[in-house]
Amino acid sequence: MSYEIKLPLFEGPFDLLLFFIERDELDIYDIPISKITDDFLEYLKQLEKMNVDVASEFILVAATLMKIKAKMLLPRPVLDEEGNEVDPRDELVKHLLEYKKYKSVIQELATLEDARLQKEKRGNVIKEIKALSEVTNVEAELQNIDMYKLLKVFQKVMERFDYEQKRPIHQVVQYPFTVANQKKFLLEKLTSSKRLSFEEIISFEANKIGVIFNFLAILELLQVSQITMSIGMGFNNFWIEKTSGEFVN
């Protein structure tokens, strides 16, 4: 599904998540993390239209969603001190509920601010007009200028120029990976080869992001029983094999 999202609609990543939840009428206490993660990553393709400060917040939340998705795919649940299973989505739900609460309050405050700005303060109108005229009196200002003031202004301008020249520039790189594509890639490799070791899979995409997407693809294929896993030789190594039968991807 392709759609266009205009950036001004969303003030931050939680604003975007709430939009997805309200749009699809999802239960905020039982978020389908796989679907909402895919929608969020699709939105990140619009990053080139965003300013850098906002983009870093969206990338952080995207990484958090992928981490939660990976935890939910793992067969071994996380338990608390009392032995109860911990839902990886709990912290995300807590932040979303807090954001939703404060967002409603901020909207009310913004309405009050707009109403207040429409009002004029009471005061001595003649005195205010004289004060404004003195501020805009260019000839009076020029009479009070000396070399020291000019040098101070020049110093501030140069400091601002130096800051602008040295200010770091951040660039967001869109990696050419998706979990769906890596699933197809691994299944194609298992068609020509009976089994693959995790070391071989790492060699296909040696960079960190490629390894992460391949690992997530393996977890999803295990979940739908399209592959099996067996412990291999070596530190943190294992083998994957394609199961018999046909499955819907």
On whether residue 108 sits in a domain, the answer given is: yes
Closest to 69 measured CA to CA, from 115, 38, 107, 24: 38
Q: Choose one of 174, 196, 226: the last residue of a domain.
A: 174
- pLDDT, position 68: 82
Q: Choose one of 174, 193, 228: the last residue of a domain.
A: 174
Closest to 216 measured CA to CA, from 81, 71, 30, 64: 71
State the alpha helices, DSSP H only, in 82-229: 90-117, 125-135, 138-143, 147-166, 179-192, 198-204, 208-223
On whether residue 215 sits in a domain, the answer given is: yes
* 0.95 surpassed by pTM: no
- pLDDT, position 49: 63
> Whole domain around residue 238: which residue ranges?
179-242
Q: Choose one of 174, 191, 220: the last residue of a domain.
A: 174
Spatial contact of 44 and 79, defined as CB atoms under 8 Å apart: no
Has residue 149 got a pLDDT over 70?
Answer: yes
Closest to 245 measured CA to CA, from 215, 224, 216: 224
Same domain? 231 vs 113: no
Residue-wise pLDDT for 71-126, tens only, equals 777 766 777 777 677 777 888 888 888 888 887 777 778 788 878 777 766 666 67
- pLDDT, position 247: 45
Overall number of domains in the chain? 2
Q: Nearest 5 degrees, angle CA 134-CA 136-CA 139?
A: 85
Computed over every residue of the chain, the mean pLDDT equals 76
Residue-wise pLDDT for 167-223, tens only, equals 777 777 777 888 888 899 888 888 888 888 888 888 887 788 888 888 888 888 888
Same domain? 202 vs 220: yes
Q: Which residues pair with 240 in a beta bridge?
A: 196, 229
By mean pLDDT, which of 105-119, 127-141, 151-165, 233-247 is the weakest?
A: 127-141
- pLDDT, position 81: 72
On whether residue 249 sits in a domain, the answer given is: no
